[in-house]
Amino acid sequence: LGSDLTSLGLNLNSPENLYPNFGGPWAESPCRPQDIDYHVPQEYLVN
Amino acid sequence: PLGSTPLSADHEQQFKRLQASYFRMPHSADNERLKIHFPRQPVVTPQHFPQVPPPLSDTVDFFQRLSTETLFFIFYYLEGTKAQYLAAKALKKQSWRFHTKYMMWFQRHEEPKAITDEFEQGTYIFFDYDNWGQRKKENFTFEYRYLE
Amino acid sequence: FHDPQGLQEKTEILLREWITLYHSNTAGPGSATAFTHFVKQMNVHGILKTDELITRFFRNCVSYCRDICLRSMNEVQQNQTGGGTPTPTTTSSAVASSQCRNKCFQHVDPFVRLVALLIKHSGEATNPSTKINLLNKVLGLVCGIMMHDIETNNLEFYQLPYHRILMMLFLELNAPEPVLESINLAVLMAFTQTLHLLRPSKCAGFSYAWLEIVSHRVFVGRMLAIAPQQKGWAMYSMLLTDLFRFLAPYLRNAELAKPLTKLYKGTLRVLLVLLHDFPEFLCEYHYGFCDAIPPNCIQMRNLILSAFPRNMRLPDPFTPNLKVDMLPEIAITPKIHCSISSFITPVELRNNLDSYLKNRTPVTFLTELRGYLQNVTPSSGIGVSGSPGEDGMHYNMQSLNALVVYVGMQAIAHIQSKGQTPSMSTIAHSAHMDIFQNLAVDMDTEGRYLFLNAIANQLRYPNSHTHYFSCTLLYLFAEANAEAIQEQITRVLLERLIVNRPHPWGLLITFIELIKNPSYKFWSHEFVKCAPEIEKLFESVARSCM
C-alpha cells in the first residue's frame, strides 16, 4: 500500500518552496539556517 | 499479473555494489562547505534532545525574539550562512547597527553625537577581534562598552 | 598514464603548497591572493605550458585527493573496528568519521577551489568556451578515474572523494559571481552529462552520493527554478529517468532489501519536493517517467500523476453531479516533452498504425497488432532485461504505452476537428476505438494489464487527455464482451486507489463515475463481492461519493 508520505519529514503544506531548505534524500528534517550557505555582504565575513 | 522478473547478472552485481556503499552512506555534511564549528549534523544527538528545528526557526521573527547576545554569537560564529544573515536582520530590528570598518555592532544613543569621524556616541559591542581571529579561548572578551 | 618523469612528485609538492596557501590567513577573500601567488608557481613549474600537462596535473590531483580520503577513512576504520567489517555508524564513530571527513575536505576543498579559480580566470571573459572546456576536462577526469576505481576496487570503492569534488565544484561554479553568469547554463549541461555518465545503473556504488548531488537544494534550484526558460527541465528529467531505470528491476520484483529501501525512500522524498515546488515539471515529463517506472510501482507513479499546475483549482472529485466536460481546462492539451510516435516500434507497426487510422487498412492490422507488441527481443524501456517471453516479459511496455497515447491523441484531434468534445458517443465507432477494443479483447491478462495501465497513466489533472482516456476506460467497461475485462479494469483502478495518498484527480473522477453511474451496472458484478474487505472498500468509497 506504499507508505505514508506525510511522515517523511517534509512540510507538504508549507506555503513556501521546500527545495531551498531541503535536507537531502535521507534527511528526516529540513536544513537549519546555519547549514545553508548565504552570500552575505562581504563585510560580514569577519573571519 | 506480471509476476516477478529474474534479475540479470549485471543487476545482481550492481546491487552488491549498492549494498557495499550502504555501509558508507554520505553524511549531510559532505554536501556543505566545511564549517569548523557547526558542521551539519555530524553526530547523532541523544533522542531526548530536540531532533528537529522548531517551526519557523528560519524566519526573522524567530530570530528577533532571541537575546542580543545570542544574535551576536550567531552572527560571529555562523558566518557565511543564512543564520548570520537572519541574525543581522534581527539585530537591525533591535536597533543595532553594523560598523563595517571595525565589524562591531553598536546602538545609537538618543541624540547621536559624532565623537570622531569614525565613531559616534553609542553603546558598542566590544568584540575581541584579535583573540577571535585566532579562536583563542582564554581572555576572550565580549562586552558592552559605552562610548560617551 | 605514462606521466613525464617526476610529474607525480611535482604535483604533490605543488598541491600541498596550494593547500597551505588556501588555509593561511593571508589567502584573501575567495583565496584570490593565494591564487595570484600560486599561478606563478604553476608557471615556474611549467604546469600551464601545455593542455596535456595541465590535464596530467589535474589527474594526479584527483588521485591524490582520493588517496588522502581513503587513507583517513581507513585510519578511522582501523581505530573503530580493529580492521573488522564496517558497521553502521554510532555516536562515537560518527564523531571520528566526521573528524576524518574534515581532514579529507581540508585537502579536497582547496583543490576544488583551485579548479574553480582556473576556470574563472581562463580565457577572455567574453569567450566562455575556454572555461567550459577546462571544466569538461576536469569532470571527464573525475569520471574516468572514478570508473577505473570502481572496476578496480569493486565493493571496496569509496564514493566520498568524488562526491565531495563534484558537489563543491558545483557550488563554486554556481556562486552569484558576474564572471560565472556567461557559463551558468553550460555548467549545468556539463554536470548533467557527468551525472548521466555516472548514473546508478553504471556506478551503483555511487548512487547515494549521486542522489545527494541531484537533489541538493542548490542543484534543484539551478536546474528547475533559476535556469532561464526552464532550460534545465529536460536535463533534470533525464537524470530522474536514469534513477528510475536503475530502481526498476528491483522495484519490479518488490523485493526491497535495506539498501534499496533507503534509495527508494530517498527518491520519494525528492519527488515530494518536486511535487510541492515544481508540479508543472512533473506534469510535463510524466510520460517518460511512467515509461521507466515499473507498472507495479503504484504509489511512486501516483505521486507523479497527481501533479497539477499550481494555478489550477481542482474541483472536489466527490462533488455531486460534477460536470467534468464543463471544466474550462478540460479541453486543453497537456504538454508532453517527447515524440511519442518515436517510441512505437517496430517502424512497420507505426506505418501500419498510421495507415489503419487513416483508412482502416491493412484490414489484418488488428489481428497482427498483438504480435507487434509482443517481445521478440529483450525488452527495452524499463531496463529489465530478462529473456523475452518470460513471465511478465511478453510485451514491449514502452511501445504499448506510446501506441495508446498516440492513438488517443489522434482520436482527440479527430473529435475536436469536428467541433466536438470527447464523450461516450463521440469516442465510439472510430478506428481509434477499434484499436482499443481490439486490445481489450485480444490481449491476454498480462498484455491487457499493461494496456489498461497505459490508459490509466493518462488520468491526471483536468486536460483533454484525462478527459478522453477517462471516457475510453468507461467505454471499454461498458462495451466489454467478457466480465474478465470489466474485472481487470476495476483492478487496475482499484490498485491505484487503495495505496496511500496522493491519488491523481482523473483517477478518482473515473472510478467515482464507474460506481455511481447506473448505466455501468457496476454493483451487479460478482467480482464486486469477491471478498468481504473488497466489498467494504467499495461501499466506503461509495459512501464518500454520496
Q: Do A38 and B81 touch (CB under 8 A)?
A: yes
User: Within a 10 A sphere around the Cβ of C202, how many other Cβ atoms?
Assistant: 15
- DSSP sequence for C118-168: HHHHSS-TT-HHHHHHHHHHHHHHHHHHHHHHHHHHGGG---HHHHHHHHH
- Out of B58, B84, B132, closest to residue A44 by CB: B84
d(CA C227, CA C132): 17
Q: Is B43 in CB contact (< 8 Å) with chain C?
A: yes
**Mean pLDDT, residues B94-110 taken together:** 83
d(CA C302, CA C499): 9
Amino acid at C217: R
Q: Note the pLDDT of residue C379.
A: 43
C301-340: per-residue pLDDT in tens?
999 999 999 999 999 998 888 889 889 999 999 999 989 9
**Mean of the per-residue pLDDT values for chain C?**
91
Q: Note the pLDDT of residue B45.
A: 81
Among the listed residues B105, B148, A21, the one whose alpha carbon sits nearest the alpha carbon of residue C216? A21
What lies within 8 Å, CB to CB, of C310 at 6+ separation is C279, C280
Residue C125 has pLDDT above 80, yes or no: no
Q: Note the pLDDT of residue C544.
A: 73
Which residue's C-alpha cell is 514491449? Answer: C396
Please tell me the least confidently modeled range out of C94-98, C109-113, C192-196, C198-202. Answer: C94-98
Angle between helices C365-373 and C431-442 (to 10 degrees): 60
Q: Which residues sit opposite C166 in a β-bridge?
A: none
A6-46: per-residue pLDDT in tens?
999 999 999 999 999 999 999 988 999 999 989 888 888 87
C293-305: per-residue pLDDT in tens?
999 999 999 999 9
Q: Is B135 in CB contact (< 8 Å) with chain C?
A: no
Q: Is A38 in CB contact (< 8 Å) with chain C?
A: no
C222-254: per-residue pLDDT in tens?
999 999 899 999 999 999 999 999 999 999 987
* Cα separation values, C215 from A23, B31, C209, C528, Å: 9, 11, 10, 43
Q: Do B24 and C160 touch (CB under 8 A)?
A: yes
- Out of C29, C215, C303, closest to residue A24 by CB: C215
B1-21: per-residue pLDDT in tens?
787 888 999 999 999 999 999
Report the residue of A17, A35, A38 to disrupt the B interface, i.e. the one with the largest count of B CBs within 10 Å.
Answer: A35
Contacts of B86 in chain A (CB under 8 A): 33
d(CA C105, CA C22): 12
Residue C89 has pLDDT above 60, yes or no: no
Residue C82 has pLDDT above 80, yes or no: no
Q: Which residues sit opposite B145 in a β-bridge?
A: B124
Contacts of B24 in chain C (CB under 8 A): 73, 86, 158-160
Residue B133 has pLDDT above 80, yes or no: no
What lies within 8 Å, CB to CB, of C36 at 6+ separation is none
Are B60 and C134 a contacting pair, CB within 8 Å? no
CA atoms within 13 A on the CB side of B26: 31
Q: Note the pLDDT of residue B54.
A: 84
d(CA C141, CA C62): 8
Question: 3-class secondary structure for C258-326?
Answer: HHHHHHHHHHHHHHHHHHHHCHHHHHHHHHHHHHHCCCCCHHHHHHHHCCCCCCCCCCCCCCCCCCHHH
B41, closest residue in chain A (CA to CA): A35
Q: What percent of chain C has pLDDT over 90?
A: 76
- Out of C217, C272, C303, closest to residue A20 by CB: C217
Q: Do C160 and B8 touch (CB under 8 A)?
A: no
Contacts of B99 in chain A (CB under 8 A): none
Q: Note the pLDDT of residue C386.
A: 43
d(CA C161, CA C105): 8
Q: Do A36 and B82 touch (CB under 8 A)?
A: yes
Q: Do B21 and C449 touch (CB under 8 A)?
A: no
d(CA B67, CA C493): 57
Residue B38 has pLDDT above 80, yes or no: no
Q: Note the pLDDT of residue B140.
A: 59
Contacts of C208 in chain A (CB under 8 A): 25-26
Q: Do A33 and B52 touch (CB under 8 A)?
A: no
Q: Note the pLDDT of residue C81.
A: 65
Strand, helix or coil for residue B60: helix
Q: Do C277 and A45 touch (CB under 8 A)?
A: no
d(CA C233, CA C475): 36
C150, closest residue in chain B (CA to CA): B17
Report the residue of B10, B13, B14, B58 to disrupt the C interface, i.e. the one with the largest count of C CBs within 10 Å.
Answer: B14
- Touching C (3+ Cβ pairs <8 A), the chains are A, B
Q: Is B18 in CB contact (< 8 Å) with chain C?
A: yes
- Residue C175 — φ and ψ, nearest 5°? -70, 150
Q: Do A3 and C29 touch (CB under 8 A)?
A: no
Q: Note the pLDDT of residue B111.
A: 72
Residue B96 has pLDDT above 80, yes or no: yes
Q: How far apart are the first and last CA of chain C?
A: 74
- Grid cell at residue B122: 553609542
Read off the pLDDT band of B51 (50, 70, 90): confident
**Mean pLDDT, residues C358-381 taken together:** 80
Q: Is C178 in CB contact (< 8 Å) with chain A?
A: no
Q: What is the value of pTM for the model shown?
A: 0.92
Q: Which residues of C378-396 are buried (b: 16+ CB within 10 A; e: fewer)?
A: ebbbbbbbbeeebebbbbb
Q: Do B6 and C386 touch (CB under 8 A)?
A: yes
Q: Note the pLDDT of residue C381.
A: 42
What is the C-alpha R_g of chain B?
Answer: 24
Q: Do C205 and B17 touch (CB under 8 A)?
A: yes
* Cα separation values, C176 from B135, C167, C182, Å: 29, 16, 11
Cβ pairs bridging A and B (under 8 Å): 79
Residue C105 has pLDDT above 80, yes or no: yes
B19, closest residue in chain C (CA to CA): C259
Q: Do B31 and A27 touch (CB under 8 A)?
A: no
- Grid cell at residue B86: 537572519
ipTM of the complex: 0.90
d(CA B32, CA C98): 13
d(CA C442, CA C434): 11
Q: Is B126 in CB contact (< 8 Å) with chain A?
A: no
Q: Is B129 in CB contact (< 8 Å) with chain C?
A: no
Q: Is B61 in CB contact (< 8 Å) with chain A?
A: no
C213, closest residue in chain A (CA to CA): A24
- Grid cell at residue C112: 576544488
d(CA C87, CA C33): 43
What lies within 8 Å, CB to CB, of C417 at 6+ separation is none
* Cα separation values, C353 from C288, C344, C402, C429, Å: 22, 10, 12, 17
Q: What percent of chain C has pLDDT over 70?
A: 93
C485-519: per-residue pLDDT in tens?
999 999 999 999 989 999 999 999 999 999 999 99
Are B65 and C248 a contacting pair, CB within 8 Å? no
Q: Do B20 and C157 touch (CB under 8 A)?
A: yes
Are C211 and C270 a contacting pair, CB within 8 Å? yes
- Touching A (3+ Cβ pairs <8 A), the chains are B, C
Strand, helix or coil for residue B143: strand
More confident residue, B133 or C177: C177
Residue C462 has pLDDT above 50, yes or no: yes
Q: Distance (Å) from the C-alpha of residue C37 to the closest C-alpha of chain B?
A: 23
Q: Note the pLDDT of residue B132.
A: 64
More confident residue, C110 or C49: C110
Strand, helix or coil for residue B122: strand
- Out of A8, A21, A25, closest to residue C211 by CB: A25
Are B103 and A46 a contacting pair, CB within 8 Å? yes
Q: Note the pLDDT of residue B42.
A: 64
Q: Note the pLDDT of residue C118.
A: 94
User: Within a 10 A sphere around the Cβ of C93, how many other Cβ atoms?
Assistant: 18
d(CA C509, CA C468): 13
What lies within 8 Å, CB to CB, of C16 at 6+ separation is none
Helix, strand and coil content of chain B, in percent to the nearest 5, comes to: 35, 15, 50
Strand, helix or coil for residue C158: coil
Read off the pLDDT band of C286 (50, 70, 90): very high
Q: Is B47 in CB contact (< 8 Å) with chain C?
A: no
* Count of residues in chain A: 47
Q: Note the pLDDT of residue C376.
A: 60
Among the listed residues C48, C60, C55, the one whose alpha carbon sits nearest the alpha carbon of residue C11? C60
Q: Do B30 and C212 touch (CB under 8 A)?
A: yes
d(CA C69, CA C290): 39
CA dihedral C285, C290, C291, C292 (to 10 degrees): 100
Contacts of A47 in chain B (CB under 8 A): 79, 132-133
Q: Do C200 and B14 touch (CB under 8 A)?
A: yes
CA dihedral C407, C412, C418, C419 (to 10 degrees): 180
Q: Note the pLDDT of residue C457.
A: 98
- Grid cell at residue C541: 468509497
Read off the pLDDT band of A1 (50, 70, 90): confident
Q: Note the pLDDT of residue B79.
A: 86
B51, closest residue in chain A (CA to CA): A29
Q: Which residues sit opposite B114 in a β-bridge?
A: B120
Is beta strand B142-147 parallel, antiparallel or unpaired with respect to B104-108? unpaired
Q: Do B30 and C163 touch (CB under 8 A)?
A: yes
Read off the pLDDT band of C30 (50, 70, 90): confident
How buried is C417 (Cβ within 10 angstroms: 0-12 exposed, 13-18 middle, 19+ buried)? exposed
Among the listed residues B57, B20, B95, the one whose alpha carbon sits nearest the alpha carbon of residue C203? B20
d(CA B48, CA C396): 53
Q: Is C88 in CB contact (< 8 Å) with chain A?
A: no
Read off the pLDDT band of C479 (50, 70, 90): very high
**Mean pLDDT, residues B18-38 taken together:** 88
Strand, helix or coil for residue A25: coil
Q: Is B53 in CB contact (< 8 Å) with chain C?
A: no
Q: Is B133 in CB contact (< 8 Å) with chain A?
A: yes
Are C150 and C202 a contacting pair, CB within 8 Å? no
Among the listed residues C454, C459, C532, C464, the one whose alpha carbon sits nearest the alpha carbon of residue C497? C459
B-proximal residues of C, 34-73, CB under 8 Å = 73
